[in-house]
Structure 1
Amino acid sequence: MTSPRLVQIGVIGAAHGVRGEVRVKAFTADPTSLKAYKPVTTADGARAFTVAALRRLKDDMVVVRFKGVDTREQAEALNGVGLFTPREALPPAEDEDEFYWADLIGLRVEDMSGAVVGEVASVQNFGADDLLELRLAGSRRTVYAPFTREVVPVVDVAGGRVVIDPPEGLFDEPAEGPPA
């Protein structure tokens, strides 16, 4: 049996008060929807959490009390723990231009002529813009491509592919030796 594809829907932050509550940064469109996923798990599925109470704090932040977490010390031990749910538990996309990052992983990457150049290894955001990490065909090497409509004009989840118009030099081999 294969494990379900998990999607991160939040991350636990600092303890809030002395009764086991924690701050949670939600990655869902509506942060209060975290309570709808029963239960949420860690990335490896080893630990499950059930929301006992939840209230909005601000923007994408909520205060959560999980069943079985009753003290500040227990809450502090959870700081930094990611919260995941199976992809199948998430609502369907509302239109064809909407998708979950998890839906992109493993999609075939084609250039503008239709030639296969690799597959999507991951989607990242290091603080500026979203990036597609592409594993190049026939290689273990990966490159990052800006995930913009200009560079990735076609996302066809149903067809299992994305089309890329790569910026010049994206697929060039890295230079050998130390940087100049």
Structure 2
Amino acid sequence: MAEGDITSKADITPDSASGSISEKIILGRITGVYGVKGWVKIFSHTDPMEAIVDFSPWYIRAEGRKQAQWTKVKLKTGKRHAKTVVAKLEHCNDRDQAMAYVGNEIAVELQQLEKQREEDTYYWRDLIGLRVTNQQGIELGTVKTLLETGANDVLVVVFEEEGETKERLIPWTMDIAIVAVDIEKGSIEVDWEIEWDADL
């Protein structure tokens, strides 16, 4: 993920508890149950993965049901366990109750993320749509999305050439390939030459 990133997904929808419109950021999903005391297994988009349990309440809904309302649930505790994250939700005390949560997406309100945002931290959602130029002032395209590669994230930058939409991949390496990010101006400056595209 991009340095300090939480997630690349966002949704605007009313929550079922208040009926108010608020932007929700999807942080992961509930994938299974853990033990017999109401714990659930979590697939987390956060980096590190256990950062998802730093937020409460969560908002959940069935995965893929974009028209469904979010339901607010309180997180009692959670932790990293081997290669996954496990969590205990309030009023979830046995395996059967935990099973009812499996398959739900987990989101938090944007305001919850902003409270924990550190200086010079960017979420994927901040970067998508920004114009990318190199140090010579050549416009390289617009950020379409980001890819996780393990070592570092990669910007997918789209541009038009001879009537075709093409992509170039630029590593998200701060102070190396990434020179400056200006969210207000909607731009990213990179140390990148066009002829390097084929070398990535």
TM norm structure 2 = 0.64
The question of whether the paired residues in 2 share the 8 Å contact of 1:32 and 1:54 is answered with no
Structure 2 CA distance for aligned equivalents of residues 63 and 18 of structure 1? 13
Aligned to 1:46: 68
How well do the aligned residues superpose, as a CA RMSD in angstroms?
A: 3.3
Per the alignment, residue 94 of structure 1 pairs with 118
1:11 deviates by: 3.0
Q: List runs of 5+ in structure 2 lacking aligned partners.
A: 1-10, 13-22
Give the count of matched residue pairs. 165
2:78 aligned residue (32, 56, 71): 56
Task: Structure 1 unaligned segments of length 5 or more: list them.
Answer: 173-180
What TM-score does the superposition give when structure 1 sets the normalisation length?
0.70
The separation in 1 between residues aligned to 2:42 and 2:111, in whole angstroms, is: 22
Partner in structure 2 of residue 178 of structure 1: none
Q: Label 1:70 to 1:55 Cα distance change in 2 as closer, same or farther (>3 A).
A: same
From 82, 88, 97, the equivalent of 1:71 is 97
Q: Would you say the 8 A contact 1:6–1:87 is kept in 2? A: yes
CA 1:140 to 1:67, structure 2 compared with 1: closer, same or farther past 3 Å? farther
Which piece of structure 1 moves more, 98-107 or 108-117?
A: 108-117
Instruction: Decide which structure has greater strand share.
Output: 2
Change (3 A) 1:136 1:82: farther
User: Structure 1 stretch 11-20 or stretch 108-117: which is displaced more?
Assistant: 11-20
Whole-angstrom distance in 2 between the partners of 1:82 and 1:113: 43
8 A contact 2:146–2:153 mirrored in 1: yes
Greater RCO between the two (CA within 8 Å, min separation 6)? 2
Q: CA 1:45–1:111 in structure 2 vs 1: closer, same or farther (change >3 Å)? A: farther
Say which SS state the counterpart of residue 55 (structure 2) adopts.
helix
Q: Shift of residue 168 of structure 1? A: 6.0
Tell me the distance in 2 between the aligned counterparts of 1:112 and 1:45.
Answer: 44
Residue 177 of structure 1 aligns with which residue? none
Alpha-carbon shift at residue 117 of structure 1 (Å):
1.7
